[in-house]
Amino acid sequence: MTNFEQLFEPQSIAVVGVSDDAARPGSQAVRALRENGYAGRIFPVNPKYETFDGLRCYPSVAEIEERIDLVVIGVPAQGVLPVLEAAAKKKVPFAVVLSGGFRESGPDGVAREQKMLAIAREAGMRIIGPNCLGFANIHSNVYAAFGSITREPKLKPGVVSLVTQSGGFGYSIALACEEAGIGFRHVIATGNESDVDTVQLIDALVDDPETAVIVAYVEGMRDGRALLKAGRRALAAGKPVLLWKAGITEQGARAAASHTASLTGSYDFYRAVFKETGIIEVTEIEAVVDFLQALQGQRFPAGGGVAVMGVSGGSAIVFADAGDPVGLRLCDLSETTRESLAKVVPSIGAIHNPVDLTAGYFSAANQAKLESALNAVLRDPQVDALCVNLATTGGAGSLAAAEVVSRVAASADKPIMVFSSTSPTRSADARRVLAEAHVPVLRSPGRAARAMGMLLEYGRARARLTGKAGGHERAAAASAFADLRRIGQPNGTLSETASKAILAAAGIPVTKDVIVKDVDGSAFDRLAAPLVVKIVSRDIPHKTEIGGVKIGIETREALHAAIREVLANARERAPRAQVEGVLVTEMVRGGFELIAGVVNDAVFGPVVVVGAGGIYTELLRDTACRLAPFDERTAREMLDELKCRAILDGVRGSAPLDVAAAARALSALSQFAWESRDVVSEVDVNPLFVLPDGVAAADALIVLRETVKQPAAQELAVQ
Amino acid sequence: MTNFEQLFEPQSIAVVGVSDDAARPGSQAVRALRENGYAGRIFPVNPKYETFDGLRCYPSVAEIEERIDLVVIGVPAQGVLPVLEAAAKKKVPFAVVLSGGFRESGPDGVAREQKMLAIAREAGMRIIGPNCLGFANIHSNVYAAFGSITREPKLKPGVVSLVTQSGGFGYSIALACEEAGIGFRHVIATGNESDVDTVQLIDALVDDPETAVIVAYVEGMRDGRALLKAGRRALAAGKPVLLWKAGITEQGARAAASHTASLTGSYDFYRAVFKETGIIEVTEIEAVVDFLQALQGQRFPAGGGVAVMGVSGGSAIVFADAGDPVGLRLCDLSETTRESLAKVVPSIGAIHNPVDLTAGYFSAANQAKLESALNAVLRDPQVDALCVNLATTGGAGSLAAAEVVSRVAASADKPIMVFSSTSPTRSADARRVLAEAHVPVLRSPGRAARAMGMLLEYGRARARLTGKAGGHERAAAASAFADLRRIGQPNGTLSETASKAILAAAGIPVTKDVIVKDVDGSAFDRLAAPLVVKIVSRDIPHKTEIGGVKIGIETREALHAAIREVLANARERAPRAQVEGVLVTEMVRGGFELIAGVVNDAVFGPVVVVGAGGIYTELLRDTACRLAPFDERTAREMLDELKCRAILDGVRGSAPLDVAAAARALSALSQFAWESRDVVSEVDVNPLFVLPDGVAAADALIVLRETVKQPAAQELAVQ
């Protein structure tokens, strides 16, 4: 693994492409390095100049005698490769290629990017870019960048590192944070990500002692498993990752052979990774700002009970409305708490939750009373977090309140937030005092509630995921995988019989059945009616549509007729299909239909999907997914996410269904998906009946990888 | 109807309760009137002073000789009634009671509020408050208010009027708008709303020529029908209403006899009113600010096609992500448009949508090119709206862009928005230019998309609702209503037979059935098997639970057995129920189960609800509702809102179902609900089968009003 320290803290930087034209990327980089006081050595490179900006200017990288930790390249595209070759010769470990004119610009650019990568790979050099705004280390004033990153306002130092695939939009996020007083460690715009990508940088930032929180803006990635790994490392290190996955509406429907695969898109797989890693999803600039402020307190609510205190009843109601969907509730206060409050809250106020301190309460004269009130509420065991609504309180009142809240927050182990609607200039003193105490000030009660909800969810994810292995028992799956190998190289889609046999070997219960070649009543003696009859042919994936299925067969005569009919229908409506026979199965009655399956995604590898089956399947898209393999605990979490989950506990007086068996089946499916990932493209188990006692896969389809077109690797976005 | 002009534009104001204590409400009101330059006459009242703040001070209202248009009362609660009596004698038309100590303070306060109301009613005086911050007319410097409304910053005049039940939180909204440069006409904090309420004020503001947009914050109201009326008037007048309904999580589950009623809460009824009036729902302060800015342009997209142009590809992707759920899509551009763009967009940019102008494009040198590009895109018939992403562009670049965008916007008939992430101080010039041209500047692409989505929805609501009557054909409903009258005064809940008979008379198709008293096979000859048998008793509302239903009866013998069994079960498990007989019905097969019903709400009157039936009913809460009565067009809109709507068009190759018949049945149900509103409390039609040809109500329940406890009138919130 690359040690990124020399990239982040280079002692010397060569900047190739400086020019009298101050707008050129190289010129901007050198200017930013010098104006911001970079302490290392700078080597400008341009054969036309002797000096640049008072520094010795070199005709080429080759002629720089000293060690170079980082080369920043801003020359036109056609000049980039020779510079990289020279840098490779000098064993420069890192390059930032600002120049455009690569993959994003057509076939010539694609070829150029491949050559660039070959040079880097051979030399062991790592490249950021090309076609990027570059990066800045705000602590050490390293500016290997141009454009907005180098312009006013200068970001102040802090603990947040930002990695963004879009320089322009990513820097919009940085600007909004800067306006809110948030400081930065690294800001990295990755451009085409030919070599170093966002996930590798997230992983590197987990190891950066100066980074406490990581923000990433992502349009696509090539290795979803690496995100899973980096996310888990970040969680273990206690460094929250805020991730913005953009481009979710462009993913459209997946062209897929199986039903399960058509229900999901790669956004679902990202969200599965978020659930498995505690990565915090963000989809709005304000949310990034709010969440970063909230995380500064480094305290997480132990539960969803929130107390709201302040001078605006409406604000408390709005907090409750916005808090409800994120798991917060205004908790009851104990009698002890209410007695303490009664001593310091005016009688026309309210000592239940929300606590109404009454208009004008926030004042220098009331500081001691306010401190008692805050402490009383924070001591209450039902209170997991506190929100103080200053609302429109400005000037001296807000400062008086801020001083008390800051003092109380210093020793509190529960998170505290403040809602203030006064403009930052009109409550500057109060905001400064609260900022110093790491008490976040939110601009609306709704934003406060959502930030608090994020703290609750992140804290819960840490508790849930800490030490969780992911599950790797493999006995049954390995044997099923061996069965699959024995089948050899069939033509894309396995028949229902073969699919079910393999899944049964993998530990997934399937319906009892018999395969017959022609009209044959013997199945009637071996199975319990009612029966189902289905045509078996790997050339007929959608059997119902050609009349290849008959259900509810109660008599031997009906069985004969049904076999005759499905064979006739197949001959007539799918004349070119190779029919292997007719499957006679025991019909499953009662229970609830789930649909389950596997999608072997190009970016995320095998992912298991489970959802509500039956006529609501497409309509509700009530699905949950996780990257395989996983244990039964994770499988239960998936089931718990489904909207149809309550039905499994029994509806309208019917018996509860066997959720544990469903979880076992999903976990087994995930083991099989993982073991068979080189061979299997998709698996459909539809329906998977959940019964009062056990589960039964009543139909299944395995699609092999060899002859199935894979989804194209998701293209990385061009900034 | 009250003419509120004297309230809003009083020529003279008496302020009762002025004092040397500058913090007293009366003192604050007089100071605000004088400091802001109120042009009318001010009469301070306090028997202790000869003069107040240089004005003649009166010992009482009675002793003011001149005409008083408005009396503002800030004395302690026990002093309020004598002041009102004196004002009543002088025929003062309006009072603002700032004082607390009324309904919100316990039994004495409730009594005081009732007396207050009696005085006002007798004199024809209208009262704002009590227990409120009062109101301000920003144009005429009328400050009948205290607290934050009278403090810095002073709101600037504008076309927005704000009505709020929470003074504190409502003014937080005003402050956020002020910071964004939005001006106000009236700001009214209504407190207890004993007399004048939010809806009456919205209605009055529709008639105020200086008000162009109305913002309301509401926690509860007593007359939902009045909101429907006021909302329709506002829509007809072209004055958008932004309404924030707070307290939605506190409504909990409704205790109700019928299934339909248990699926809804009053928040659903508010949202039904929004749909019928084009009222724009808001739930976040930033949304109010953004939407007000967007509405200033007074242009609405004709469709969901948006073009995005700018210097940040990421911003365009984020716009698309946020625009998708609100009905926006990045449309294709015509070849003509792309040819025009090719002439003015650099070759490394993109001339498809989103249009990439390339970094650094926004500059004085490129103004002519930018103007051509904008005009070309706006001329494209597929483009309904335009978003220009300045992203991080600041300084001279943003000003150059702003000048062009403003010029183009002046003559464009399509809405244009700008996204800029630079802080207002760093792009002040650009923002000023754009504000003058009424081009909204949003702080994130997501906020721009949501504001554009609001314009689209409001425009569509205007087109859809203009001239819409609400539908009042009443023949069938009136006759059903007569049937209901004939039944007399039964005991709360009508039996299934009676309920179905009445609904059939109202024009709702019901299943064919026969009622028998004991084991009787004659029904077998008159109906087509399979049959259903159900116990009939108005004392057994949930028949399935006591074994009172048998389905799928195919033979005469089975019919006998079933009748015997349900009678025995009723005797055993509901021994005290009065059994009227046994209903034998044709069993409905196929189709799709809806649930429909009526809730006669204390605030909104009769509301019709329709939803997905079957086991998903509780789970999905997939319902739509409208205030009765309504026509078939509205009924179709309700059906179109359901998640299960697609099933009605046929799933898995099954026949499409009769949506028109379902709409007819819902409209008929709404007519019946309206006609019978004084008698009927709830109606349940569950299930309502939608079949390939027609619909059939297979069960029904009518709950009468007389003996059923009504939901308590929603309490008005205390600020």
If pLDDT is split at 50, 70 and 90, which confidence band does A251 have? low
Exposure string for A249-265, b = 16+ CB within 10 A, e = fewer: bbeeeeebbbbbbbbbb
Pull the structure tokens for residue A404.
Answer: 């008390």
Contacting residues for B356 by C-beta, under 8 A, at least 6 apart? B310, B311, B313, B316, B345, B349, B350
Distance from CA of B446 to the nearest CA of A (A): 7
CB contact, 8 Å: A494 with chain B? no
| Sign (positive or negative) of CA dihedral A133, A135, A138, A142 | negative
Distance from CA of A176 to the nearest CA of B (A): 7
Mean pLDDT of A674-693: 94
Q: B325: nearest CA in chain A?
A: A249
Query: Which DSSP letter does residue B687 get?
Result: E
Interface-testing mutation among A98, A190, A248, A249, with chain B (most B C-beta atoms within 10 A): A249
A519-528 pLDDT, tens digit each = 877 888 888 8
Q: A132: nearest CA in chain B?
A: B359
Exposure string for A555-571, b = 16+ CB within 10 A, e = fewer: eeebbbebbeebbebbe
B444·A620 Cβ contact <8 A:
no
CB contact, 8 Å: B651 with chain A? yes
- Low-confidence stretches of chain B (pLDDT beneath 70): 1-2, 250-261, 467-491, 652-653, 706-719
CB contact, 8 Å: B252 with chain A? no
List, as ranges, residues 286-325 from A with C-beta within 8 Å of B. 286, 311-315, 317-318, 320-324
Chain B residues within an 8 Å CB radius of A653: 544-545
Q: A390: nearest CA in chain B?
A: B168
The helix/strand/coil state of A263 is coil
Cα atoms in the Cβ-side hemisphere of radius 13 Å centred on B35: 12
CA distance A74 to A96: 9
Share of chain A above pLDDT 90, in %: 76
CA distance B487 to B484: 5
Exposure string for B529-561, b = 16+ CB within 10 A, e = fewer: eebbbbbbbbebbebeebbbbbeebeeeebbbe
Min mean pLDDT across A570-579, A692-701, B544-553, B705-714 is at B705-714
By CB atoms closer than 10 A (0-12, 13-18, 19+), residue B25 is: buried
B168·A313 Cβ contact <8 A:
yes
Chain A residues within an 8 Å CB radius of B615: 647, 651-652
CA distance A671 to A663: 12
Interface-testing mutation among A169, A251, A315, A330, with chain B (most B C-beta atoms within 10 A): A169
Pairing state of beta strands B241-245 and B184-189? unpaired
List, as ranges, residues 380-439 from A with C-beta within 8 Å of B. 391-392, 394, 421-423, 426
**What pLDDT does A253 receive?**
42
Interface-testing mutation among B192, B244, B318, B389, with chain A (most A C-beta atoms within 10 A): B318
Q: What share of chain B is helix, strand, coil (3-state, %, to 5)?
A: 40, 20, 40
Chain B residues within an 8 Å CB radius of A421: 171-173, 175-176, 285
Query: Which residues on adjacent β-strands are paired with residue B24?
Result: none
B314·A620 Cβ contact <8 A:
no
What are the backbone dihedrals phi and psi of residue B570, each rounded to the nearest 5 degrees, phi first? -65, -45
The answer to whether residues B69 and B13 touch, using CB atoms and an 8 Å cutoff, is yes
Query: Which residues on adjacent β-strands are paired with residue A330?
Result: A306
CA distance A534 to B616: 29
**What pLDDT does B512 receive?**
85
Q: What is the pTM of this model?
A: 0.91
Identity of residue A537: S
Whole-number Cα distances in Å, A68 to A46, A63, B98: 16, 11, 73
A296-336 pLDDT, tens digit each = 989 999 999 999 999 988 999 999 999 999 999 999 999 99
List, as ranges, residues 227-246 from A with C-beta within 8 Å of B. 246
Name residue, tokens 């059997």.
A543
B392·A717 Cβ contact <8 A:
no
Counting one residue from chain A and one from chain B, the pairs whose CB atoms sit within 8 A come to 210
DSSP secondary structure of A171-234: HHHHHHHHHTT--EEEEEE-TT-SSS-HHHHHHHHHT-TT--EEEEEES--S-HHHHHHHHHHH
CA distance A322 to A717: 34
Mean pLDDT of A416-443: 94
The interface pTM score, or ipTM, of the predicted complex is 0.90
Interface-testing mutation among B28, B162, B172, with chain A (most A C-beta atoms within 10 A): B172
Mean pLDDT of A346-356: 92
**What pLDDT does B714 receive?**
37
CA distance B430 to B441: 10
Query: At residue A539, does pLDDT exceed 80?
Result: yes
Q: B310: nearest CA in chain A?
A: A168
Closest to A312 measured CA to CA, from A227, A210, A385, A418:
A418
Mean pLDDT of A670-698: 94
Contacting residues for B28 by C-beta, under 8 A, at least 6 apart? B22, B74, B145, B146, B147, B150
Min mean pLDDT across A173-177, A385-389, B260-264, B450-454 is at B260-264
Chain B residues within an 8 Å CB radius of A175: 392, 421-423
CB contact, 8 Å: B360 with chain A? yes
CA distance B379 to B547: 68
**What pLDDT does A651 receive?**
72
Chain A residues within an 8 Å CB radius of B618: 646, 651
**What pLDDT does B634 receive?**
95
**What pLDDT does A117 receive?**
97
**What pLDDT does B195 receive?**
97
Contacting residues for A187 by C-beta, under 8 A, at least 6 apart? A135, A136, A138, A145, A149, A155, A161, A162, A164, A170, A171, A174
Pull the structure tokens for residue A670.
Answer: 């995930």
Mean pLDDT of A339-367: 94
Of B167, B217, B421, the CB nearest to A175: B421
Closest to B140 measured CA to CA, from B55, B210, B205:
B210
**What pLDDT does A258 receive?**
66
Distance from CA of A149 to the nearest CA of B (A): 10
